[in-house]
Amino acid sequence: MTVSAVDSRVYGNLFTTAAMREVFGDRARLQRMLDVEAALARAEAKLGLIPAEAAAEITAQAEVGRVDPDAIRAGTELAGYPIIPLVKALGEACAGEAGRYVHWGATTQDIVDTGLVLQIRDGLELIEADLAGTEAALADLARRHRDVPMAGRTHLQHALPITFGFKCATWLAPIQRQRARLAHLREEVRVVQFGGAVGTLASLGQDGIKVVDALAAELELRAPRIAWHGGRDRLAEVAGFLGVLTGSLGKIATDVMLLMQTEVDEVREPYLPGRGGSSTMPQKRNPIACEFVLAAAKNVRQLVPVMLDAMLADHERATGPWHAEWVALPQAFALTAAALHHARAILEGLEVDPAHMRRNLDLTRGMIAAEAVMMALAPAVGRQAAHHLVADACRQALERGAHLGEVLAANPEVSAHLAPERLQQLLVPENYTGLAGAFVDRVLETPPGSSS
């Protein structure tokens, strides 16, 4: 029986991915801790602190399949930490005297934190792969629809004409920035934790720093200048990144959902039989993938403050904030994986309807290009006067159900400065997309993984 949606047999694959669940599942969690114990033994053996034969035996036995998960669970419930029963099991599995050297000079948090760092490293690799795919899908959409006109909207109202490629480029630029942030983050968080009981490594005497460096080398991590038992900023930064990333994905999903509304119908999620259907309305095609992107983003956003709060660790080793991380960070990774998975699928198969985009441009009968007329009149009559003239014409057009061009053409203050052909040209939405295409090109020229 499960409580969390990410572990549910019913909802699980909607709220995470199998790969991310594996990275942060119990088996991987325990294996990563065992990996740290084995690496510590090898590092200490190379420094002559424990026998080489003991390190080899510890490494050989440090396999999660060799430990009893029920015993680990029972021991964890008793002690409050999995390391105590795990170290006991590993020591008992080792032949001869090797078990005496398991966990030499370490403390529980050293192993748990370093194991978590290894999990984060694996999780960020999965995120990088899907993020790269999402970026590529957005770049393809922006390139293909660079010059496809559509209504730009502000405050949910028609504003000015843009292109769909321009809209895709506004989605793409933040994703490019996320990849640049991720490149920094992957290096920043790749740090071993090893400080002993209070961070001073007193148990290892003068050899402590050598062990830190050797352990980091064994695990292909960086050695910190000082233990970070109470300095949780790196982990908080990881959570913040996941929050910002899912926020960017949520923005895309929000726009796609709005563009899928029946009255708009400009884009649609990829079609699969039964996908997004209703139990009672046969005609429905709901934006179901978008909904799960938003659900994931909202939940990740709630987990970020937990990780920020966990930074308030008391003294050298925290009494409770540390434990909060065990819940929040794996959940944040799981949900982010789902958001990325759904967003990538949406964008790779997005159905775009340029005909409906063009139809919607005409809904306001020329008024979407009102600014173009105003700016053309401004040199002759002044901007404020031009704004007043065009605003009044828009009001009349709305009241009469007329095209804005008809009202403007009948106004002598307008016709005195704008010939009929010029007025007609100004009211063509495609003629007033500004530098949309140039901005698309600028975003597309950004090298992968670079910030724009």
Active site residues: 155, 278
CA distance 109 to 228: 10
Structure tokens at 9: 């047999």
CA distance 163 to 91: 65
Cα 313 off chain centre by: 27
Q: Which residues contact 116 (CB under 8 A, 6 or more apart)?
A: 32, 235, 325, 329
User: Which string of b and e fits 390-402 if b means at least 16 CB within 10 Å?
Assistant: beebbebbeeeee
Helix residue spans in 319-353 (DSSP H): 321-348
Q: Which residues contact 254 (CB under 8 A, 6 or more apart)?
A: 290, 294
CA distance 60 to 70: 22
Nearest CA-CA partner of 246 in 346, 156, 341, 138: 341
Helix (H, G, I), strand (E, B) or coil at 19: helix
Cα 418 off chain centre by: 50
CA distance 53 to 110: 23
